[in-house]
Structure 1
Amino acid sequence: MSIYVGNLSYDVKEGDLSHIFAEYGTVKRVQLPTDRETGRPRGFGFVEMSSDAEEDAAIEALDGAEWMERDLKVNKAKPREERSGGGGGGYGGNSRNNFSRR
């Protein structure tokens, strides 16, 4: 399991986040997703710690805490939803989008 950390400053680096969470236990991994097109941080991240007890302590202490002039949103990360490939585009069947020439 991992921790979701939201409302992060765009200036935060993985090392910064790791340092803050290390006060509550061993940080195994930190991820800061970036925008595919710009490469800029997206304002949230994920932290994985060694145990559930460490994660719970970090969540309790840091949710709502002010850091880098922002109030953090910290909670258990939800499992990533499976995405289906390709998609149909919505042009089949009797849809209004199903154009035809007469």
Structure 2
Amino acid sequence: MSIYVGNLSYAVTQDGLSEAFAEYGTVKRVQLPTDRETGQMRGFGFVEMGTEAEENAAIEALDGAEWMGRDLKVNKARPREERGASGKWSNQGGSSRRY
């Protein structure tokens, strides 16, 4: 399981985020997704800690905390949802145009 970290500054680095979470235990991995087209960070990331107890301690301490001028949103990451033909760009189920 991993931790979702939202509302991150675009200036954040993997090392910086790792240091912030290391205060609460062993950081196994940090991911900072970037936009495919621009390469710019997307404003959120994922942190994987050594144990569930460490994850819980980090979530409790950092959710709502100010870091790099932003109020962090920190919680357990949810599994990624499958994107299929029924998504927002699908033509199934009628048109989304308004006349």
Q: Aligned residue pairs: how many?
A: 95
Q: Which residue number corresponds to residue 8 of structure 1? A: 8
- Give the TM-score, by structure 2 length: 0.86
Provide the rounded CA distance (Å) in 2 between the counterparts of 1:6 and 1:50. 20
Greater gyration radius: 1
Q: Which residue number corresponds to residue 38 of structure 1? A: 38
Q: Which residue number corresponds to residue 90 of structure 1? A: 91
Q: Which letter does structure 1 place at the counterpart of 2:91?
A: G
CA apart distance, 1:62: 0.2
Provide the rounded CA distance (Å) in 1 between the counterparts of 2:91 and 2:35. 27
- Where does the alignment leave 5 or more consecutive residues of structure 1 unmatched? 97-102
- Where does the alignment leave 5 or more consecutive residues of structure 2 unmatched? none
Provide the rounded CA distance (Å) in 2 between the counterparts of 1:90 and 1:6. 31
Q: Does 1:69 align with 2:63?
A: no
Identity of aligned residues (%): 75
Q: Which residue number corresponds to residue 52 of structure 2? A: 52
Runs of 4+ off more than 6 Å: none
The Cα RMSD (Å) is 2.3
Provide the rounded CA distance (Å) in 1 between the counterparts of 2:42 and 2:33. 6
